[in-house]
Every structure is written in C-alpha cells, then in structure tokens.
Amino acid sequence: MFSFLMKKPSWQALCLMCVGAFLVRALVFYGYVQQDERYQQPDSIDYHCAAVSLALGKGMVQIWNEEPIFWRTPGYPCFLAFFYRLYDEYSLDFFDHEESHRMALWVQIILSSFLPLLFFWLALLLTQSYLVGWLAACVSIFHVGCVLASMFLLTDGLALLLFVVFLICLYRLIMRKLTYRDVCGAVIFLSLFTWMRPMGIYIALLSACLIFFAQEQRLKKIKMAFLFLTLFFASVSPWYMRNYAMTGHVFFCPIFGPYLTCFCVPKIMERVEHKPLIECFHQASHDGGVATKRALLCARQRGEVKVFCKQLACLPPAVEWIKDYPLYFAYDWLVQVVKTMFDVYSSQLVAFAAGTFKSDPLIEFLSEKIAACLYVQSMSVGMRLVCWIEFFFSLCMWLGIAVGLILFGYRTFSIKTAMREREFFKVWLISGLMIGLVVCMTGGFGYARLRLPVEPLMVILGITFWVWFIGKFK
C-alpha cells in the first residue's frame, strides 16, 4: 500500500509537498498570526529599528542617538530594509510598517515552503532511505516550530533554511569525497547564516573538526579544514573589520555581555544575597551600567577616540560573579540547556492565548511551560490539540534519539559490524556533536526556538531509529 514511500519521489510529489507546506503556513498566518500583529516577538523591535536605519542609508546605528549597533548582526535587518524601501516606510513606530512587514513575512512563508525538499534531501544523505526522507519531509510540513518560525519577524525562518543547506553541504563533504565545491557551498551558506545568527562562528570551528571524520588522507583533510576556516572567516571579516575600526576590539557580536548580565548573574545573586530575582536583575543591570560608565570615563581620560561598546564594558562584572561561583553558574547553565532541548514549540501558543507574546519573562520553568501547554492555560480546542500532538511527537523523537545513540554505539564498539553500520553510527555521532554545540550555547535563557537550526537533525535521527526498530519486528 505504501510501497511508493520506498521509491525515489517524482517531481510532482515533491511539488505537492511544497504546496502543502505553503498552504499550512498561509492558513495559519492569514487566519491567526497576522491578527493583532502576533508576528511581533520580543526581539522584533531591535531588528525593526536596525532595518529602518539601513533603509535610510545610515548603516547599523540607533537613529535617535547615532550610536552604532553591535549586539545585532545586519543580515535580517538588511532583508527587512529592502521591503521598507519598497513600500517607502521609514517610521520607527513598529505599527506603521504593517504592509512592509506582511510582505516580508509572505516572502518568508514562500521560502519556508521549500523546507520539505531540504528535509528530504538531508535525510536521504544521512540514511540513504527514501522512507526516512518521505517521513522527515512530511513532518516538516506540519512541524510547529518550522511553521511558526516562518511567520515571525525574527531570524529563525530564514536562518533555518540557510542552515539546512549548510548541513547538506557539510554532510556531503564528510560522507563522500572531499571536494572544493562542497567546501565552498558549506562556507557560503554558513556565512549567510552567521550574518543572521552569530552562533555560526562556533559552528564553523566545530565543522572544521568534523571534516576529519571524512575517509580521506590526513593531509587532504587538514588542507580542506584549513580552506574551510580561511574562506569562512574571510566571508565574515567585513563585520570584524567594521567593529575593530570603530572600537579597537576584535569581536563579531558582543552579546555575551548583556546575556550573562541579564540571565546568569541574577540567578547567582538570588542564592548568595537571598533577594528576590527581580531585585537581583536590577542590581546586576545597575552594576553593569556602572562598569560601563567607568570604562567610558577611563577611555575619555586616555584620549581614546574610538566608539565605545557598552556590551563589552558590562562583561567584566558578570565574569567576576561567575568566577566566584562557578558551580552555581554551571548548574544554571545546564538547567537552561535542558530547557532548550526539551521545550516544546507550542509553548508559543500559550503566549498567544495569554497575550504575553511580545515580551519574555525573567525566568521560566520547563515543567510549568509544558503543563501550561497541556492543560493549565485556557485556549481553543484546536490549539490544545496541537500542543498534545507536538508533546507526544517530541517524546517519541527524544526517546528515539537517546536509545538509538546508545544502541548503535554499542553495536559499533561491542560487536563486529559491517562497514555500513559503522558509517551509520558516524552519522549519529557527527549529528550529536552538532546538536550538542548549538543547544549548549543557549544556557543563559533556554527555549525551543534556539534549537531550531538543528531540529532537522533531531527529527531525522528520531525517525531513523523508529523505522529501524519497527523494521526489526516486521
């Protein structure tokens, strides 16, 4: 009955998957998300203001004081700026850009409709199974995270597309012969991703290490890894040079300063000083502001004419707290990493139902978020059904990944296995390292959308295990 799932899909079937993905996203956006500007998320204002500045030809600066913007990269603001110019909208008021915002989001939705093709291609590359490819592509059509990401005024939708293409190029590089074409492809799409999401800097370093998993001579692998890093950092060097020319410091994005100050230090203060978390947040922010003013005063006394980066200046006080209480920091970081890994994307539906989608709380607890999705928060029957479906799907995916990694690792190292099975475990190991790096960078404040770039790998691995498991009994 389902024998066609074992065969190479026709172009008509692939087109039908893309049309299905578009219809799902279009219906959700047109019927719900565009109402009351639900596409505005906590970080949307930052991207909007930067886009207005770019559209006016001022560069990445805050229009109201002409101070350069360092804590956001210009990729997504440039995307928005195109539509601002197209519609001749240059107001700082977010709600004055309704037409340009909706047009930009419709473009995102159209582009995101090609995700089933990318999921299928990536799954086929990793598993050589048409069945896994079909199932992964179908999941991408309805996946809550993929659907919502395509219609938020955030980097997530476009960044996901770029990252999946990068993964395809990277796995081709590792699983097949090392070629300059795949190196260049991986560099191009990872650099485009990095211009939107700064975490690409660290992914590039890991990717260079993963090239050594390829079955090639060691010297060739060294050359390819060196070429990969050289081309990648050359592609992002304009932003490094811009920041260095302005501040005299070498950095791509100084987000760790505010990140640690706002999310990590208050939790440590709460334990040490026995104060409410909100007071600790204000105190940490105040200490960061004092350190910033002191650094600015010292720079002026030394006669430095460089632009002052506040995000770098607030980092030392946060680092001091972390150095004094490293175990507290490590524990809090791990808790947030676990939250990122096991959070559900349908928690955004809870925020919609509660009317809190335009701001982030100071702290969240995973158990409370899941409970709100499943039964606590009042919402429509359809939204509740989506929450339960995603919850059960996530349970199956996490169980498949965990058991599969242990089982295939055991079979590889404990018994004599065919080269095919060893290559299979290599895919799991490489994917696990990529997933681990992306998720472990989210320890300041964890939530589901931060793992979205590696969600395709998680979906494919989970499906692969269950296909293998059911196939054994069949």
**Any idea of the CA torsion for 185, 190, 192, 195, to the nearest 10 degrees?**
-160
Closest C-alpha among 347, 350, 367, 351 to residue 359: 351
Q: What is the pLDDT of residue 472?
A: 78
Q: Is the pLDDT of residue 38 over 70?
A: yes
Closest C-alpha among 267, 384, 286, 250 to residue 335: 267
Q: What is the pLDDT of residue 454?
A: 95
Taking only the tens place, the pLDDT of each residue in 311-369 is 888 888 889 999 999 999 999 999 999 999 999 999 999 999 988 888 888 888 999 99
Predicted confidence band of residue 204 (pLDDT cuts 50, 70, 90): very high
Q: What is the pLDDT of residue 289?
A: 83
The H-assigned helical ranges of 113-179 are 115-127, 130-142, 144-149, 156-175
Higher pLDDT, 414 or 379: 379
Q: Using a CB cutoff of 8 Å and minimum separation of 24, what contacts does 203-210 make?
A: 203/434, 203/437, 203/438, 204/228, 204/229, 204/232, 204/233, 205/229, 206/433, 206/434, 206/437, 207/170, 210/170, 210/174, 210/430, 210/433, 210/434
Task: Give the least confident one: 144-153, 417-426, 460-469.
Answer: 417-426
Q: Is the pLDDT of residue 286 over 70?
A: yes
Looking at the DSSP assignment, which residues form a beta bridge with residue 68?
Answer: 61
Q: What is the pLDDT of residue 303?
A: 67
Give the DSSP per-residue string, 252-298: S--THHHHIIIIIHHHHHHHHH---HHHHHHHHHHHHHHHHHHHHHH
Cβ–Cβ < 8 Å for 460, 399: no
Tell me the pTM. Answer: 0.94
Closest C-alpha among 77, 69, 51, 76 to residue 243: 69
DSSP 196: T
- For all residues of the chain together, what is the average pLDDT? 89
Taking only the tens place, the pLDDT of each residue in 72-107 is 999 999 999 999 999 999 999 998 999 999 999 999
**Identity (one letter) of the amino acid at 19?**
V
Cβ–Cβ < 8 Å for 391, 452: no
Taking the CB of residue 93, how many other CB atoms lie within 10 A of it? Answer: 9
